[in-house]
Structure 1
């Protein structure tokens, strides 16, 4: 897929939502009473809405909590209209290698394949020292493993991707990357007033579960206007921006880019390639600015999500850190 930042968003006929999920997953979240809410402020309505996967109820409960002065961060980011954005602005903000942000990383894929080929090659050489016919046939059998892996990748890419995801967990920065990436989606959505019902940091299932019934109807009908597209684009690019601040290469952006493409395809009026390119840059810039301004909230949320806190506990972590 061509770079969104440099050559516009490439069309995506098929995609999978992983990092930013706008569909309801049947996940049961452990909800327990809050001790951090201010005296007299009840969180029972919010607890109940999250447990029921009721996005409208979550939004209404947070709106009420905001009115009584508890959920101060919820929906606190005012709408900022899209503007022309350059790569230089992203670099100035502190994002590393901004020109390569939207180029899908092949680090994990290359490391997996190199390991498979290297290991089977080494074992094949050792097997060649076996006596008799074993020294002839075993190396061929071991060498065929690489061909089998490639064949599986061609016939069933999902199985190969699952293997790569499992292998990727051995990278020292893997879990930290996931937590930082998904916490960025969570926090930016919360700042923009989009209800969060769930999240996962599990290998191959990383996502933040956002549901807004009104937005869902607009998406499925292909009637997203510029304002709603901007909001969703900023949330979609938040994980990419978070990794861009911390690492030279962004690994977890592919699903986010496909998600953004989906939103663009469902918007009215349709954007030109130049407008798509600018939207992506602007969304990364605004998401990065929000994360940088609210760095303490982001770090608190990373910690809470890494400890597998409930959605309610994650919200409390954000509000407590404010």
Structure 2
């Protein structure tokens, strides 16, 4: 008992020291990143309150004093006709397949479930007596249960697939590249980022401000705001397309873009939707290539679970 208490005490002390060092590191990093006379407390306070308008105002002020030079450096975007050849010239691999949802993770998960249960069912069939009948039957029903869950609660099945997808060696790097691209393009376009997550099944970047949220919910997005949101929505897809032969994280992005399109006025035709998607990938991909060092720095910071404030300060180190 005494040994256990000492062990717990040492662990608690180590944890406390670790937390102190981590806080101190963040404080020193903030101090070293900020130029003389630059006050980051307003930004820090706005982020803590999750106030998108206050975050935007704080970054606008920091940009005026030369601290956040690339914040909102691309505020004006204008849609134009875009071809697949332009995407290929930019460096997007397999541009013709970008809008086709990937089934790599889904197929691997289902194949593993069916294959494993089938193999175990065959082995269980060798059990003596009634066990050789009932156990294979129960094991075989697992695949049916998985399919039933997928039809009744797709989100639950998708969470399981996301967790399973971690077995792929490129999975975490893909997530970081994908979400860092959303973060970067939102920053360059001038949309305030409130939080992000790279946790499996929860990966996302929250960058919709209050004004845009009201327009989305009311179904009154105009062409200008739709273009801005489309560029940010397609950023993750573009980042993957520039790096990998196949994009696997585009389903959520395409769903988000379709949601924006459905909430816009005037209505967008099928041909216009296709062109909007291509153009948004081209525009965001160009920004990612032109800001490659900042994108990679954001990948590193987000992979290390840096705060949004520290992610915003990444620009100062480029």
Normalised by the length of structure 1, the TM-score is 0.87
Pick aligned residue for 2:155 from 150, 153, 158: 158
In structure 2, relative to structure 1, the CA distance for the partners of 1:141 and 1:253 (3 Å cut) is: same
8 A contact 1:73–1:319 mirrored in 2: no
Q: Distance in 2 between matches of 1:152 and 1:222?
A: 32
Question: Which one scores higher on RCO, CA 8 angstroms, separation ≥ 6?
Answer: 1
Aligned residue for 1:27?
none
Among 94, 103, 117, which residue is 1:106 paired with? Answer: 103
1:194, 1:319 → 2: CA distance?
19
Bigger share in helix: 2
Question: 1:215-234 residue pairs with structure 2 within 5 A?
Answer: 215-234=212-231
Question: Residues of 2 paired with 1:296 and 1:158: CA distance?
Answer: 35
Aligned partner of residue 167 in structure 2, secondary structure: coil
Distance 1:48 1:105 in 2: 40
SS of the equivalent of 1:199 reads strand
Match of 2:112? 115
Q: 2: CA distance between counterparts of 1:160 and 1:269?
A: 36
Shift of 1:158: 2.2
Which residue is equivalent to 2:89?
Answer: 92
Q: How far apart, in 2, do the equivalents of 1:222 and 1:143 lie? A: 47
Aligned residues: 292
Offset of 1:135 from its aligned partner? 2.3
1:148-297 pair list within 5 angstroms: 148-297=145-294
Structure 2: tracts of 5 or more residues without a match? 1-22
Name the counterpart of 2:128. Answer: 131
Unaligned runs of 5+ in 1: 1-29
Give the deviation of 1:56 after TM superposition: 1.0
C-alpha distance after superposition, 1:284-305 (max 9, x if no partner): 0000000011000000000000
8 Å CA contact 2:68–2:315 kept in 1: the answer is no
Task: Provide Cα deviations, 1:240-266, integer angstroms capped at 9, x if missing partner.
Answer: 000111111111111111111111122
Q: CA RMSD in A?
A: 1.5
Alpha-carbon shift at residue 319 of structure 1 (Å)? 3.1
Partner of 1:42: 39
- Deviation sequence 1:89-127 (CA, Å, 0-9, x none): 001100111011011111111101100111111111211
Tell me the distance in 2 between the aligned counterparts of 1:221 and 1:263.
Answer: 11
Take 2:260 and 2:54, find their aligned partners in 1: how far apart are those partners?
24
Q: Between 110-119 and 167-176, report the one with greater CA deviation.
A: 167-176
Q: TM-score, normalised by structure 2?
A: 0.89
Hey, what's the Cα distance between the residues in 2 that align with 1:109 and 1:43? 44
SS in 1 for 2:194: strand
1:61 corresponding residue in structure 2: 58
- Structure number with greater Rg is 2
Aligned residue for 2:9? none
